[in-house]
Amino acid sequence: MILIHILIVSLSLLKKLDNLITHILLFTITFFSGGLFLFINLKQERSLKILLSFSGAFLFGLTILHFLPDLFLDYEPVFGLVILIGFSIQLILEFLTQGIDHGHYHKGKDDKIKLPALIGLFLHALFEATPLASGHVHHGEAHFHEYFITGLILHKLPVAIVFGSMLNHYIGRSAKSFIIIGLFALMAPLGLLLSDQIPFLQDFHHYFMALVIGIFLYISTTILFEVNENHQFNTVKFVSILMGFGIAGAFSFL
């Protein structure tokens, strides 16, 4: 929870980030979080679920309170359909990744990571950073990029932890594991770079934003359902969810 508070407090510093530092930040947080858990066995799943519940609620709150209103400020009827397409794309990726892309996986009997899981995880990471491109104009939210990168970091942190733990389980602390984590950490900066440099992606950035909103809606609601999968009330998780909603709402007054 201390790490969560540090990330939130650092929001004021994120306002000064340029694109280069954003690239570096996305890479380093993902790489070092995943790399660290090559050396740490993930036994405290309860702590991870608390982090997941907070990040899921925070991401859902940002999507409802900030990303959707910003998108629909320049309303086009097709946006709703594109959101559903993004939701459906994430549903397909879910079958490939088996839940890694929202911080969840089961240690199976197989002795290796399946290639479709890596492909799905990498595609998910590539898509989700595209709205951060500096050329994308967001009229409705003066602090859109700060909100988005904060939500993205809080989403990627548990994903990187689970991915590093999975690599530790299947491959071990080898150069191959670090290479895979490095490639995964590069996906978000690569998606940001492509979105920032390719004119086609610039011209249709609202549609990519709608796709990512659909992905975020799937990810966040899946997390919130999974953390209470035994249907028992958990006070700590409930408070962490309320904190996520509350901080996302508080951003409206910044």
10 pLDDT above the threshold of 90: no
Q: Determine contact, residues 143/62, Cβ cutoff 8 Å.
A: no
Mean pLDDT of the chain: 77
Q: Highest-confidence range of 5-19, 103-117, 130-144, 191-205, by mean pLDDT? A: 191-205
200 pLDDT above the threshold of 90: no
The residue ranking higher by pLDDT, 165 or 19, is 165
Determine whether 169 is exposed, middle or buried from the number of CB atoms within 10 Å of its CB (0-12, 13-18, 19+). Answer: middle
98 pLDDT above the threshold of 80: no
CA distance 208 to 227: 29
CA distance 13 to 194: 25
Q: Determine contact, residues 56/219, Cβ cutoff 8 Å.
A: yes
Percent of the chain with pLDDT over 90: 10
Q: Looking at 88-169, which runs of residues are DSSP E strands?
A: none
Residue pLDDT, tens place only, 28-87: 888 998 888 888 776 656 677 777 788 888 889 888 988 888 888 877 889 999 999 999
Give the SS3 label for residue 43.
coil
Residue pLDDT, tens place only, 208-225: 888 889 988 998 888 887
Give the least confident one: 28-37, 136-145, 153-162, 183-192.
136-145
For position 16, what pLDDT does the model report?
Answer: 46
Q: What's the predicted TM-score (pTM) here?
A: 0.77
